[in-house]
Chains A and B, each alone.
Chain A
Amino acid sequence: MTDAEETLVQKAQEERLEAVWASPKGWRYWSDVNNTSIGIWYTATSFAFMLFAGVLGLMIRVQLAVPDNDFLTANFYNQVYTLHGTAMMFLFAVPVFEAVAIIILPQMLGARDLPFPRLSAFGYWCFLIGGIFVCGSLFFNAAPNSGWFMYPPLTTEERFTPGYGADIWLLGLSFIEVASIAAAVELIVGTLKCRPPGMRLNLMPLYAWYVLVVATMILFAFPPLIAGDILFELERLFDWPFFDPTRGGDPMLWQHLFWIFGHPEVYIVFLPAIALLAMIVPTFAQRSLLGYSWIVLAAVGTGFLSFGLWAHHMFSTGLPAISLGFFSAASEAVAIPTGVQIFVFLATLMTGRVIYSIPMLFVSGALAIFVLGGLTGVMVAMAPFDWQAHDTYFVVAHLHYVLIGGMLFPLVAGAYYYFPLAFARQLSARLGRWAFWLMFVGFNTAFLPMHWSGLVGMPRRVWTYPEALGLGTANMISSVGAFIFATGFLVVVFDVLRPRGRQPYAERNPWNAGTLEWLAEMPGKTWGVRSVPIITSRYPIWEQKNFIADYDAGRFYMPDAEEMKRETMVTGVLDAEPIQVLRVPGPSFMPMIAAVVTGAMFILATFHYWMATLVALGLTIASILVWLWRGTSFIPEKPRKDVGLGLVLPLYTSGPASVSWWAMFITMTGDATAFFSLVFGYFFFFTIHGDFPPPGVDGPGLFWPGVSVVLFALAWAAARLIQSLNSAGRLGAARACMGLGGVLALGAGGALLWGPHATGLEPTVHVYPAIVWTLCIWTALHAAVGALMLFYCLARSLCGLLTPTHDIDIRNVALYWHFMAVMALVTVATVALFPLASGGS
């Protein structure tokens, strides 16, 4: 080819790519599912919630500025601080991580999109609806008002908390938690399976390591909270006495479940921010980050250790001292990996030629503030000190030093750093300097005095305080500082939002960074990457010769979209060797519709409109089925395709080679975690009772659980068998097994529910029947889902969409049934066999 011909070919390729990946126009824009659009909506929405929560923070500070103030009523004040904490944590800190990752992770991995774009879109719409619902309640004076951790019995008894506040919190947030888990699944599969060829685990950008760790943490941290939410709602809606000590319950169970979630949550918020630092620091030190393995150690180590800290929020609840000791020890141990990260950054900066810029300014501010917060953290991790400081402003100061230093400042640094990537223009350095100093000074003015006021005796969550306490001056200083801080943040907001039509585009790779995401052109293209590059180093732009030129000319893989379909590459977990070309779905309103009906279901349940809730449930199931049927496991028009450079890859894979199998596996891990949290509840109640089951209660007996377990085993065997029958081409037998398996599954679920019913277990009487019922219902619902899946496969098979060679669906369903079988065994062993073994009736 001559140069001229080559240019022509490239032009044609670019046009095709552009057409395939274009965002829809007009009102259809909102059906977009591309990671860049979703990521930007997601980020903008979480910042909007942050501003809302920030205004609430300022209202708190106005109320507390002077003693005996009555700017807010006591009840409204309670709503304000509860919503402030709730929105900051659930609607800002966690979602913004996922939002930012959805934008930049694919860019960093040289991928065209994440593997399940519609799932990201679904997550976004759930988040938007749930967030507006929770925040909106404030305008009806109906917001939750018992603190962001909702301790029962304050929140479970009508006489303390009349109205719907607690339900709004529980159902609204459960809905958002589901969305967070969906995003986590997407990010894990994306990191493991969508890396560019050659990006082995040792070459992966550190950001991706953090995403992997944090998304996995979400997968294990959120389900216990969901389990807690379920118990909580059963108590509020149907009077099942999980947290009511007069009927055998115990409010401590909620505290355990909440903090098994709540502490890892702190690190779920903190690690992604550190991940941004791990990208920013090398760029401005103009050298590779020192101690790559040490950062991986720190990320993975923190991910684990953070699960061993939960009871340090319960030091003052009267747990035995030895138990407190375990949690105190783990809390001190987690300081080690945290410290390692800080030292790695400092060492990198000290050995590089540091370029001072606005992102670096925020990075240094972050490190300074976070280190102070970390120090007070080590202090409150010692139980005796915590007994003094618990529920005082000392803790408020500590948590804001950690959150603002460890999360907000790095995030703003990241915003300055990545703004050109998203909007092709630079933020103003002059405004940035103003913003930084206002925020830094304002923050310390606001929160430093709180250490002192807390130790002197200013309780947390107090509506007002008497003049005689002598805290007027300290509080006034804090309030002034809060407004200075807010002004600084508004400068950033102004700079982001101001019209910048005449400002020239930023140059390409404006910071001279070394990682893949900076391949993006200014203004960016919607195709993600021009061609999927081959990676041989950690900083390809710095270290690989001719890299950008080859990339631009499409001399790597997949430079074209011949069939006019959206595609991205799937690679192996360890060494990222090419495995498959994945067709990803394009724009669709289906995710939005599914989110709207799912949201309707949760909202209607909040207000006890049961019939309408059932209708919404039906619509939810229907919309998900339509979405799956029309949008997943397409059979491609040809088995393989040429992706350039002499490589031919399959277009379809199933089982462990396929991304959807991984997604199923990961989702089921989260599901199993929620299940084991409920089982934990059973054994928790067992330990606190001398007699469990209580005397005179017989149930659920052995017979019906036994029947159920046999039926479950048969259904499981059917699901296993289908897979091999189908591959062998024995379609008739396979279809018979699908139908039969589904019916068996329904029977198994029914038998499981019949046990407690037949033995007369009454869930409102005592916690024992309540928890038995909960486990049985949970498992029976999963059986119903399992049956639905089998019937779905049957229908697919009858329509020729599931064939011996195209069997994604049945492979995933078989995987589901493995989890299902374990769940059924554990449930029956717990509710039927355990009472015998422990000497009960």
Chain B
Amino acid sequence: MELPNQTRDTLWTLIATPTIWALHFLFCYVVAAYDCAPNARIFQTIEGTRIAIAVATIVSLAAIAAIGWRAFREWRAGEGKSPHSADTAEDRERFMEFSSLLLAALSFVAVTFGAMPALVFVDCR
């Protein structure tokens, strides 16, 4: 069954979710480093950074979830059977969707991990 608005998967859609992880990671690192630099007043608190990270995390997780959900829906609706090793454009598409789903799950976990330090640390020590 073809879903309406099927997206065509490519290598770019495959790496969308880990790219979001990378941007989120970079963002967290940069705001914290900027806030704490030059790392002289180490007891200075970092509310702003923590809020910014919280917001970025929610946005990233939502985006990853949406992309993962899309992949999941299209993958389930498709008819291909699991190893997706048939010689058809259809099965290639299913394979890409399933792999995107797996990557979305991994990215979701990795973003969650990445946000946790902001829960624990309150200053620049």
Shortest Cβ distance from B36 into A: residue:
A320
Cross-chain contact A201 with B106 (CB below 8 angstroms): no
Chain B residues closer than 8 Å to A308, beta-carbon distance: 21-22, 25, 110, 114
Docked-complex contact B116 and A296, CB < 8 angstroms:
no
Interchain CA distance A560-B108 in the complex, whole Å: 51
> What is the bound-complex CA distance between A687 and B95, given in angstroms?
45
Q: How far is the CA of A332 from the CA of B110 in the complex (A)?
A: 9
Residue of A319, A328, A329, A573 near B11 (CB, 8 A) is A573
Residue of A nearest to B19 (CB): A304
CB-contacts of A742-778 with B (<8 A): none
The distance in angstroms between the C-alpha atoms of A537 and B92, with both chains bound, is 12
Residues of chain B contacted by A806 (CB below 8 angstroms): none
Which B residues, 66 to 125, have Cβ-Cβ distances below 8 Å to chain A?
83-85, 87, 89, 91-92, 94-96, 98-99, 102-103, 106-107, 109-110, 113-114, 116-118, 120-121, 124-125
The total number of A-B Cβ pairs within 8 Å is 137
Say yes or no: A538-B85 contact (C-beta < 8 A), given A318-B39, A320-B36: yes
Contact in complex: B33, A323 (CB < 8 Å): yes
A325 CA to B36 CA in the complex, in Å?
A: 14
Is there contact, CB below 8 Å, between A325 and B116? Answer: yes
CB nearest neighbor in B for A291:
B83
> What 0/1 pattern do residues 299 to 330 of A give for CB contact below 8 A with B?
01100110110000000001111111110111
State the CA gap A288–B82 with chains docked (Å). Answer: 13
In the complex the two chains form, is A292's CB within 8 Å of B21's CB?
no
Q: Residues of A contacting B110 with CB < 8 Å?
A: 305, 308, 330, 333
Considering the chains assembled together, what is the distance between the CA atoms of A294 and B84 in angstroms? 12
A728 in the interface (beta carbon within 8 A) = no
Cα-based distance from A689 to B96 in the complex (angstroms): 47
Per-position 1/0 for B2-19, Cβ under 8 A of A: 000000001100110011
CB distance from A256 to the nearest CB of B (A): 10
* Neighbouring A residues of B113 by C-beta, 8 Å: 329-330, 332-333
Contact A297-B84, Cβ < 8 Å, known A201-B96, A308-B114, A332-B113: no
Once the chains bind, are A297 and B124 in contact (CB under 8 Å)? no
A536 sits at the interface (CB 8 A) = yes
Whether A320 and B91, one on each chain, are in contact in the complex, defined by CB atoms closer than 8 angstroms, is: no
Contact among A198, A200, A201, A690 for B38, CB-based, below 8 A:
A690
User: Which of A201, A307, A318, A688 touches B95 (beta carbons < 8 Å)?
Assistant: A201
Partner of A687, one of B37, B85, B124: B37
**Given the contacts A203-B87, A296-B99, A333 and B117 also touching, CB distance less than 8 Å:** no
Given the interface contacts A326-B29, A330-B110, A574-B10, does A687 sit within 8 Å of B125 by beta carbon? no
Among B15, B34, B99, B109, which residue has its beta carbon within 8 angstroms of that of A336? Answer: B109
Contact B21 A687 (CB under 8 A): no
Q: Which of A200, A336, A337, A687 has the most CB of B within 10 A?
A: A200
Chain A residues with Cβ below 8 Å from B114 are: 308, 326, 329-330, 333
User: Are A288 and B85 in contact, CB atoms less than 8 angstroms apart?
Assistant: yes
Min distance, Cβ B106 to any Cβ of chain A, angstroms: 5
CB of B42 within 8 Å of the partner chain:
yes
Kindly list chain A residues whose C-beta atoms are within 8 Å of the C-beta of B36: 320, 322-323
The reply to whether B28 and A326 form a contact with Cβ atoms under 8 Å apart is: yes
Chain B: CB-nearest residue to A252: B39
Tell me which residues across on chain B come within 8 A of A288, comparing CB atoms. Answer: 83, 85
* A300 → chain B closest CB, angstroms: 6
B14, B42, B83: the one contacting A300 at CB < 8 Å is: B14
CB contacts (< 8 Å) of A333 on chain B: these are 106, 109-110, 113-114
Does A805 interact with chain B (Cβ within 8 Å)?
no
A73, CB-defined interface residue at 8 Å: no
Shortest CB-to-CB span from A383 to chain B, Å, is 10
CB distance from A219 to the nearest CB of B (A): 14
A322 and B102 in contact, given A330-B25, A574-B92 (Cβ under 8 angstroms):
no
A495 close to B (CB within 8 Å): no
Complex Cα distance, B36 from A320, in Å, reads: 7
- Report the bound CA distance from A328 to B117 in whole Å: 9
**Best-surrounded residue of B22, B42, B113 (most CB of chain A within 10 A):** B113
**Bound complex: CA A789 to CA B22 (Å):** 34
Alpha-carbon distance A201/B98, docked complex (angstroms): 13
Query: Is there contact, CB below 8 Å, between A325 and B33?
Result: no
A293 near B: Cβ within 8 Å? Answer: yes
Known: A297-B106, A329-B117. A323 touches B85 (CB 8 A): no
Report Cα–Cα, A106/B101, bound state, in Å.
Answer: 30
Report chain A residues within 8 Å CB of B61: none
Chain B residues within 8 Å of A326, by CB: 25, 28-29, 32, 114, 117
Complex: A336 Cα to B118 Cα, angstroms: 22
In the complex with contacts A308-B22, A322-B117, A333-B109, A293-B98 CB distance below 8 A: yes
Q: Which residues of A contact B18 (CB under 8 A)?
A: 300-301, 304-305
- Kindly state the separation between the CA atoms of A783 and B22 in the bound complex, as whole angstroms: 31
Say whether A202 faces chain B, with CB atoms less than 8 Å apart: yes
From B39, B83, B89, A320 is in contact (CB under 8 Å) with B39
Taking the closest CB of chain A, its distance from the CB of B46, in whole angstroms, is 7
For residue A245, give the distance in angstroms from its CB to the closest CB of chain B. Answer: 11
The answer to whether A575 has its CB under 8 Å from any CB of chain B is yes
Report the nearest B residue to A576, measured CB to CB: B92
A688 touches B37 (CB 8 A): yes
- In the bound complex, how far is the Cα of B102 from the Cα of A297, in angstroms? 6
A200–B106 touching, CB < 8 Å: no
Q: Is the CB of A200 within 8 A of B89?
A: yes
Decide: B89 and A322 in contact? CB cutoff 8 A: no
For residue B37, which residues in chain A have a CB less than 8 angstroms away from its CB?
Answer: 687-688
**CB atoms of A322 and B38 under 8 A apart:** no
A329 to B113, CA, bound (A): 5
If A201-B92, A201-B96 touch, does A323 touch B29 (CB 8 Å cutoff)? yes
Inter-chain contact B92/A320, CB cutoff 8 Å: no
CA distance A128 to B91 in the complex (A): 44
A597-638 vs B, CB cutoff 8 Å, 1 = contact: the mask equals 000000000000000000000000000000000000000000
A687 to B15, CA, bound (A): 31
Q: Is the CB of B121 within 8 A of A304?
A: no
A575 to B89, CA, bound (A): 7
Taking the closest CB of chain A, its distance from the CB of B44, in whole angstroms, is 10
**Smallest CB gap from A305: residue in B:** B110
The CA of A669 and the CA of B97, in the complex, are separated in Å by 26
Contacts of A329 in B (CB 8 A): 113-114, 116-117
Q: Which residue on A lies nearest to B89, using beta carbons? A: A575
Taking the closest CB of chain B, its distance from the CB of A396, in whole angstroms, is: 28
**Among the listed A305, A538, A687, A689, which residue makes an inter-chain contact with B34, where contact means beta carbons less than 8 Å apart?**
A687
Q: Determine whether the beta carbon of B106 is less than 8 Å from that of A301.
A: yes
Task: Kindly list chain B residues whose C-beta atoms are within 8 Å of the C-beta of A535.
Answer: 87
Residues from 171 to 213 in A contacting B, C-beta threshold 8 Å? 198, 200-203
User: Which residue of the partner chain B has the closest CB to A292?
Assistant: B83
Cα distance, A301 to B11, chains bound together (Å): 13
Residues of A within 8 A of B83 (CB): 288, 292
Contact B32 A323 (CB under 8 A): yes
A208 to B120, CA, bound (A): 42
Q: Which residues of B contact A202 (CB under 8 A)?
A: 84-85, 91-92, 94-96
Q: A225-284: which have CB < 8 Å to B?
A: none
Taking a contact as CB atoms under 8 Å apart, the answer to whether A321 and B125 are in contact is yes
Q: List 21 A-B contacts (CB under 8 A).
A: A202-B84, A202-B91, A202-B94, A202-B96, A203-B92, A296-B99, A297-B99, A300-B14, A304-B21, A305-B110, A308-B25, A320-B125, A322-B117, A322-B118, A323-B32, A330-B113, A333-B109, A337-B106, A574-B92, A687-B33, A688-B38
Nearest 9 pairs between A and B by C-beta? A325-B117, A202-B95, A536-B87, A687-B37, A304-B18, A297-B102, A322-B121, A329-B113, A200-B92
Besides the known contacts A305-B21, A687-B37, A689-B38, 16 further A-B residue pairs in the complex with CB atoms under 8 A apart: A200-B87, A293-B99, A300-B99, A301-B107, A320-B33, A320-B124, A321-B117, A325-B117, A326-B32, A326-B117, A328-B117, A333-B110, A336-B109, A535-B87, A573-B10, A573-B11
Binding site for B on A (CB under 8 A): 198, 200-203, 288, 292-294, 296-297, 300-301, 304-305, 307-308, 318-326, 328-330, 332-333, 336-337, 535-538, 573-575, 687-690
